[in-house]
Copies of this chain bind each other. A is one copy, B any other.
Amino acid sequence: MNKSKPSNRKRIVELANRLFYEQGYNQTSFSDIAERLHISKGNMTYHFHSKDELLHAVIEYRMEQIRETLRDWKEQYPEPLDRLKRFVTMLLNEADDLVDCGCPMGSLNAELGKTQRNIQKESRQMFDLFRQWLDEAFAQLGYKDFGKKSMHLLSMAQGAALMSYVYADPEIIDVECQYIIEWLDSMDAQ
């Protein structure tokens, strides 16, 4: 009874997730979503009393997706270095989207941080999931300063995503990922 017919609530969350990414949170209205879903705005309001509430649901949705992904990667790659490289491969795989819309986590946080710090703090938790996961991998490699290394990896990934987005150029992702891989390999060699 889960696959039968997706509830309108779920359809709203999934479309909002996509539009918040493609157009930004503030540039996406209830009308946008209602029209594309062929439902009324009143229906939207029934499911989500405010836009903040919808954003909250979208963040929850993304968090769950991230948890699943990280869980899968952990199963598939027992070796910590392989896991770290899998993270980099994600950037290469998602290059097209990154170039078009930026990083889903980075761009949302960037937008919300300006005038909606309260919700941004919630949105930041997506990064926390990655940090925790990366921490574990670096710790397994024997590094005491795993927190510092996780942040550096996230930071380089965000830089790559942003610059490739600014110049709409996937080549930037490629080159920056080479730098990241070099950095990971140089650590392993020590």
**A residues lining the B interface (CB < 8 Å):** 22-24, 26-27, 101-102, 106-107, 109-111, 113-115, 117, 120, 124, 127, 148, 151-152, 154-160, 162-163, 165-168, 172, 175-176, 179
Contact = CB atoms under 8 A, between A and B. Distances in A.
24 contacts: A23-B114, A24-B111, A24-B114, A102-B110, A102-B113, A106-B162, A106-B166, A107-B110, A110-B111, A110-B162, A110-B165, A111-B111, A113-B166, A127-B163, A151-B163, A151-B172, A152-B175, A152-B176, A152-B179, A155-B156, A155-B160, A158-B163, A159-B160, A162-B162
Given A26-B27, A114-B27, A159 B166 contact: no
A166 B161 CA distance: 15
B23 A115 contact: yes
B158 A154 contact: no
Contact of A165 (B107, B113, B151): B113
Contact of A159 (B111, B117, B162, B167): B162
Give the most central of A120, A158, A172: most B CB within 10 Å: A158
